[in-house]
Structure 1
């Protein structure tokens, strides 16, 4: 038995989203069927839709879903029918990193979430006209009115939680927050640099503002975003379109920054962030350029204890972190609503265009 639903399908790399009817499998024992209420749009969705990653197309993307459980597989014990859930990435649950509390570094993360287009056994829960199409994106493929979701991707939240605000917690927000809380862990008086004031960067700013960091510096080229960064907790901002970033950083913190979060994917910006580190400082790489991109590093400059670390999904254990973030959003201490612009599901191509142009920081589709 299958469930028919409406989904935004990417037919080929570079094509726009096409809203059409697809069929979903019945949930397997470790899966659930979710009726989507909202879904955030992320640059990763647009990167895959462009054809830059080997995800099988035609396919259904979307990995910041939020909705209500309609069916549960026979082996699911974590959620029940009627529960409100946020959706995030999937993981196997049994490899060393999963058992160690680091599911974002699951041994099967890439095929299970980003490039496989199907479950671990290669099958897709999404079909059209009797033929399977790419699905199971981040264990969910939430650009659809319904999705068959890995139970491990779902986090139960209170029924009064505003799903159309909370949807971005599944990827962008937890990535920025996790960069600060899980990696940098600022101690009293330390300093944090954030390059790029998009959804991930501004989430890092909000997270840093909830730590004892003494200075939070944000670099971007858009004045409105720098203004917003100040409102969300930045103590200093640098407009890279007007001044030399390295020179300004040296004026603000002559001895270098203790931690940096690089979200732009620009290797020149990354090198600037690395060069700005204080001894024992850490640069966290979040922004992802094209595969194979390299950045030169002054090896001798690294010897005084400087660290460069890559990051996936904030190195988060979602069942632990996301409920905390929900509470912070509801209490007003993590005002992610300031980042969100809402669009109807049928306007997904407008949302994508606004995200590409920078007109919207974090588009969220409403179903």
Structure 2
């Protein structure tokens, strides 16, 4: 049988660490038996895309990144039953589906998370994208590489979403927004009447603030250095805000709570802030870590300050959620007016991807979303 022709498309390519992405003409394989070909309508830009661009994580280059994609199913492999051509989908993180973590309901903590999400290929080592000269480009970033007009995802990591909501708005649900809200509602299990602190009021932190309100926390505290973001945090549900440039945030949290926080979430990706998130906890408090830091980052911890009060420190990936269940839940919260995540988004044309990344790094934009195609 003759080989099916490859698909032509444009993709944003990272060729050198820390350098601007280049929009290039590339080609993409047709879907394999368990894969879904998605025509990308939009994709969010996440802090992790910037970390890998700068090689804070050692994903191989040259590569096509992007992992908050949303679009329309164009074609499916022979074994795919979950979605069909024409379906609207959000793409989330990839997982093997076979390891102990996956089989016990924690696919975000798949034991193959690094090779399957950051390895630059499928788990079998194969690559599906080639540049204009026929040379391979590393792909399958988070199982999607959605900085492109087309994406090959696995059946595992596509989530069908309602067609009456804009795909460009839904795109960031696949990573940053489910990470912040999932960390609160699913991993930390913030309870009614408790105190919750989000360190960092970016997209992840503000999603966590909204989720803290949904969870029924009576004190929801946002910590950041950006006054505009702190103002937005108040509008989205924070009962208290702290600008850490104005003084020691740990002391201020102790003043607000009297005994320390029940829950804290470190969303900034800064080691010194993680120490503050641990120090602000009260007895039996729990600190979750979601902020991506370069590989090898270390944080000094007061051992007795953790042991004696019975504090917990929890690593959290993607909110430890099952996206097939959690993303529809977030959409329902949005419809009810309880999770207005659209207020975090600013849209950019695909050609302006480098400006969008710069605006994200500088804090000018909370959640950049690239418009890539049309429905």
Question: Residue 351 of structure 1 corresponds to which residue in structure 2?
Answer: 356
Note if contact 1:56-1:133 (Cα within 8 Å) is conserved in structure 2: no
Question: Residue 54 of structure 2 corresponds to which residue in structure 1?
Answer: 50
Q: CA deviation at 1:300?
A: 1.8
SS of alignment partner, residue 159 of structure 1: coil
Q: CA deviation at 1:12?
A: 1.2
Task: Provide Cα deviations, 1:244-268, integer angstroms capped at 9, x if missing partner.
Answer: 2122112101101000001112222
| 1:265-344 equivalences in 2 (<5 Å) | 265-303=269-307, 304-344=309-349
Q: CA deviation at 1:297?
A: 1.6
The separation in 2 between residues aligned to 1:34 and 1:184, in whole angstroms, is: 33
The separation in 2 between residues aligned to 1:72 and 1:26, in whole angstroms, is: 9
The separation in 1 between residues aligned to 2:335 and 2:27, in whole angstroms, is: 35
User: Which of 65, 74, 77 is matched with 1:73 structurally?
Assistant: 77
Which segment drifts farther, 280-289 or 191-200? 280-289
User: Which of 4, 17, 24 is matched with 1:13 structurally?
Assistant: 17
Q: Cα RMSD between the aligned structures?
A: 1.0
Note if contact 1:12-1:51 (Cα within 8 Å) is conserved in structure 2: no
After TM superposition, the score normalised by the length of structure 2 is 0.96
SS of alignment partner, residue 92 of structure 1: coil
Note if contact 2:47-2:292 (Cα within 8 Å) is conserved in structure 1: no
The separation in 2 between residues aligned to 1:250 and 1:108, in whole angstroms, is: 40
Structure 1 residue runs of 5 or longer lacking an equivalent are none
Question: Residue 238 of structure 1 corresponds to which residue in structure 2?
Answer: 242
Question: Residue 177 of structure 1 corresponds to which residue in structure 2?
Answer: 181
Are 2:229 and 1:225 equivalent residues in the alignment? yes
Q: CA deviation at 1:332?
A: 2.3
User: Which of 247, 250, 255 is matched with 2:254 structurally?
Assistant: 250
After TM superposition, the score normalised by the length of structure 1 is 0.98
Q: CA deviation at 1:286?
A: 1.0
Are 2:127 and 1:124 equivalent residues in the alignment? yes
Q: Which runs of 4+ in 1 moved over 4 A?
A: none
Q: CA deviation at 1:185?
A: 1.5
Corresponding pairs, count: 366
